[in-house]
Amino acid sequence: MSHTPDESTPGTQSAADAGPSFRSEVTVELVKHSASDSDVLWAARVSTAGEQSLEELQKDPERSKGLINFLMRDRHGSPFEHNSMTFFISAPIFVFREFMRHRVGWSYNEESGRYRQLESVFYVPGQSRKLVQQGRPGKYEFVEGTPAQHELTTRVMEDSYRQAYAAYQEMLAEGVAREVARAVLPVGLYSSMYATCNARSLMHFLGLRTQHELAKVPSFPQREIEMVGEQMEAHWAKLMPLTYGAFNANGRIAP
């Protein structure tokens, strides 16, 4: 993780000059973590038993599972905050606009468009992305696009991205500052960020940004942020299986 500005001059040759590339997927890497079910147990049991060893906590797995489930069900949320996960996420800018609305229990650092030339990587929906929205606000459903709609979407997006990136490069080549030239780039451009959260803030995020059959309160997130959420969820489930199980068993409502 570095804040050091890139020293390259605006408009210098880079991989970006090879021409735009197009992607349909998002990536989420778990770069750092200190997160386990024991963290929840420790925090919860200080209420009744004071300081306890890890061995003591792990003596009775059924009791541990029961306690975590009780905390989740009755929404005793703070024991789920004593842990930390840092993800490195690569996704289009429009995903990050939605992501950063999550203010509580999250820290963010995103790549800079002022200190470095932004790379020409752009989002184009894959074949499985449902393209057509039907219904009214609050009651939308998405249905498959036709092959013609997919072809059109890919062609129009790629043309538009090429044009926007060429305009960006033209300004950089003439010495216009990166922070000014970037104004022409669209929200389909890929960016990357570190996002650090704890299990409680992640559960709140997942409750809102994923659709799941076990959710007691349904949500209707945009598919692309849901793709990020699904990958974070898969990492978290491995780190904290009891907490993850209790989250699902209690309707995926953050405590």
Q: Does 77 interact with ligand FAD (rule: CB under 6 A)?
A: no
* Residues acting as catalytic residues: 209
3-state secondary structure the chain: CCCCCCCCCCCCCCHHHHCCEEECCCEEEEEEEECCHHHHHHHHHHHHHCCCCHHHHHCCHHHHHHHHHHHHHCCCCHHHHCCEEEEEEEEEHHHHHHHCCCCCCEEEEECCCCCCCCCCEEECCCCCCCCEEEEECCEEEEECCCHHHHHHHHHHHHHHHHHHHHHHHHHHHCCCCHHHHHHHCCCCEEEEEEEEECHHHHHHHHHHHCCCCCCCCCCCCCHHHHHHHHHHHHHHHHHCHHHHHHHHHCCCCCC
| Residue number, 167 or 193, with CB nearest to ligand FAD | 193
Tell me how far, at minimum, the Cβ of 229 lies from ligand FAD, in Å.
10
Nearer to ligand FAD, 20 or 77 (CB): 77
Identified binder of ligand FAD from the candidate list 40, 95, 208, 240, rule CB under 6 A: 208
Q: Per CB under 6 A, which of residues 32..71 are in contact with ligand FAD? A: none
Please identify which residue in 59, 63, 75, 101 interacts with ligand FAD, judged by CB under 6 A: 101
* Residue with smaller CB distance to ligand FAD, 186 or 221: 221
Q: Does 204 bind ligand FAD (CB under 6 A)?
A: yes
- Sign of torsion over alpha carbons 47, 48, 50, 53: negative
User: How many residues make contact with ligand FAD (CB under 6 A)?
Assistant: 10
Among 66, 107, 114, 220, binds ligand FAD (CB under 6 A): 220
State yes or no: residue 217 binds ligand FAD (CB under 6 A): no
One residue of 2, 53, 55, 103 binding ligand FAD per CB under 6 A: 103
CB nearer to ligand FAD: give 58 or 107: 107
Q: Minimum CB separation from ligand FAD for residue 247, in Å? A: 16
Q: Which residues bind ligand FAD (CB under 6 A)?
A: 101-104, 204, 208-209, 219-221
